[in-house]
Amino acid sequence: MSVIAEANPLHLHGALPRFDRFETAQVEPGIRALLMGLDEELSELETSLTNLLEGGDPPSWSALIDPLEAMSERLGFGWGLVGHLMGVQNSDPLRQAHSGVQAEVVGFGLRLAQSRPIFEALEALRAGAAFSTLDPAQRRIVESLLREARHAGVGLAEAERVRFNEIQAELAELGTNFSNHVIDATKAYSLILREEEEIAGAPESLRQLAAQNACENGEEEATPERGPWRITLDAPVLMPFLEHGECRRLREQLYRAYVTRAGEGELDNTPLIEGILALRQEMAGLLGFKSYAALSLDSKMAASVSDVDDLLERLRSASIGAAEEDLESLQQYASEKGLEGPLELWDIGFYSERLREERFDYSEEELRPYFPMPRVLDGLFALAAWLFGVTIEAADGETPVWHPDTRFFRVCDEAGEPLAAFFLDPYSRPGDKRGGAWMGECLGRTRRGDDRAREAVAYLICNQTPPVGDQPSLMSFDEVLTLFHEFGHGLQHMLTRVDYGLASGIRNIEWDAVELPSQFMENWCYHRETLLGLSGHFETGEPLPGELFEKIDAARTFRVGSGILRQLYFATMDLALHRQDLARSGESIFDVQRRVAERTTVLPPLSEDRFLCSFGHIFAGGYAAGYYSYKWAEVLSADAFSAFEEAGLEDADAVSETGRRFRETVLALGGGTPPMQVFTAFRGREPSPDALLRHAGLALEPS
């Protein structure tokens, strides 16, 4: 290993990252050195493959796929580490370093994907007699690589390929700038409240967090009782205020600020969105697709855009009436409580929470003391042991982390043999961490020859309420759901049995199936024994009272029509933006938003709503023309959970047996098997939306 490889943690592929040795100054020289080495390896591979093909010999798996995987792994580790830190430890110097080499990384990725010798070698491997001797996962990898090459422009003429590559570089830069703008716009806005009437109605947990925020930002005398209180657009602060703050004027002010984030001034993402959409449409046209939506779905589980339209419309028809009834009953309730005039968007959270508290006789804040994070983790890990036969052990201190709040865990089988590991970064840090929650890959499982398979390692990232003072993080029920969701992604990454790095874990899984295990895990938060088992009052240790669980369970379908319709609004808007050429249609992105809202909302967005300007899922993430995946996969996940219901949730042995089957199919087979085959291997049949709507208390419209 060279001196630079020893010194630079971006080059230490195959081992746990050395966050203690990472410096921003290492990014540009480290990535450039990595690319230089990979470029030489790629040239050598192309020469070798060309010689094979000219000699009439189709390449073997080891001569073609193994080197491709090795290059992909090394680039993915080094550049992935930079991307990970951009999400959890963002800074201006890191942004500059990332921007300095991003175009070169994109350029190498395109050179690899567009390599004619590699593409021709893949075609020769698929056409050769040896292809039939490969196992199904290997054959699927070859087919996927061929499709990816076509989508990367391998078949384009020279001039078109040059333009295609320019588009890729521009899209990468626009996506990064979009994400940075959202972080900066969120960080830039805050309100300092000094009067009790301004904070009236706020639960104690919010007063504590807002006072702590004020202390950390110059108000050293701030206390939860007397203030001042600093309110931001960060979710753990904003959402409780919108649900509990009695000052309607401030709710309106905060709501308007939230839905116009990154929508004006220097941080305005509108031109970036317009550029992204135009470039994606142009790219799709170069590849022979009618729209970017058609290109996106060419590699997904759904067969066509019309298939997605059909599912979304069926769900819309089933939920629109319920959502209209939700609004009508909420309006009546708010009027009875003294609201003059119609409900506004900043009233929905407040009056919904009041109505839910009254109807089900509990508040979300009443639940927090029962969900201290350490107890929730213990319960989550106990569930994983019951269902999947794995033990999870804290391993803090075994490896460096990027922030003191980050923890490290090891996953072992029932015999105590290590299987995988994960980092957990649970708390919100609006100063340097992007919002939302996600699972990221640190290392993927792979095996070389007879060697022991390398263990998969995941990043689990949340933005939940941080500890305040001497108290642990007291989680809301939604934060518990989010933790379970991301842990489900992590399980699929970590418990894979696929030995090929190009298809292990979540790799090579069609995007609209990848949410199956994550949404499946959320169902266990409504299972009595699980929820009571992971609860424990942070002061007394008493579990959640049974009557509170019954209320939570009863409230599961509260305003569910509105919740489903909200997701359909996002999914439909995403597809609408990506299925047409806006330049030809004459519509602006906000015209499209309003048009979609007419069919998928019961209370239209504000005229100045700029939600699209912070919709990172589709403009800076992997969900472009794919946001529907949440509902598509929710059909799969609800149907999968119904297998446990049919086995009998009260029968511990039957649940455990079904859990092992889920592990050996959904979690183990990863991207080595088509998702429909994986699902039917577990369920014994193809999926049905009946379970999803049954859980939601809605009736399915006839297809």
Q: Which of 102, 81, 108, 111 is nearest to 28 (CA)?
A: 102
pLDDT at 216: 92
Whether 486 is a known active-site residue: answer yes
Map out the domains of the chain with their CATH numbers: 3-155 (1.10.1370.40), 189-261 (no CATH)
pLDDT on residue 700: 53
Longest dimension (CA), the chain: 85
- Residue 701 pLDDT: 52
- Predicted pLDDT of residue 19: 97
Structure tokens at 451: 């060697």
Q: Strand, coil or helix: what is 190?
A: strand
* Chain CA centroid to CA 199, Å: 33
Residue of 26, 28, 13, 119 whose CA lies nearest to 75:
13
133: exposed, middle or buried (Cβ count in 10 Å: 0-12, 13-18, 19+) = exposed
Residue stretches of the chain with pLDDT short of 70: 1-6, 699-703
End-to-end CA distance of the chain: 61
H/E stretch holding 427: strand 418-427
Cα separation, 463 vs 461, whole angstroms: 7
Q: Can you give the pLDDT at residue 699?
A: 61
pTM: 0.90
Whole-angstrom distance, CA of residue 2 vs CA of residue 445: 25
Burial status of residue 76 (CB atoms within 10 A of its CB: 0-12, 13-18, 19 or more) = middle
| 269 within 8 A of 182, measured Cβ to Cβ | yes
**Which residues, other chains included, contact 607 with Cβ-Cβ below 8 Å and sequence gap of 6+?**
none
- The amino acid that residue 48 corresponds to is S
What single letter denotes the amino acid at residue 317? S
Tell me the angle at which helices 235-244 and 345-360 cross, rounded to the nearest 10 degrees: 70
Active-site residue identified among 357, 365, 486, 634: 486
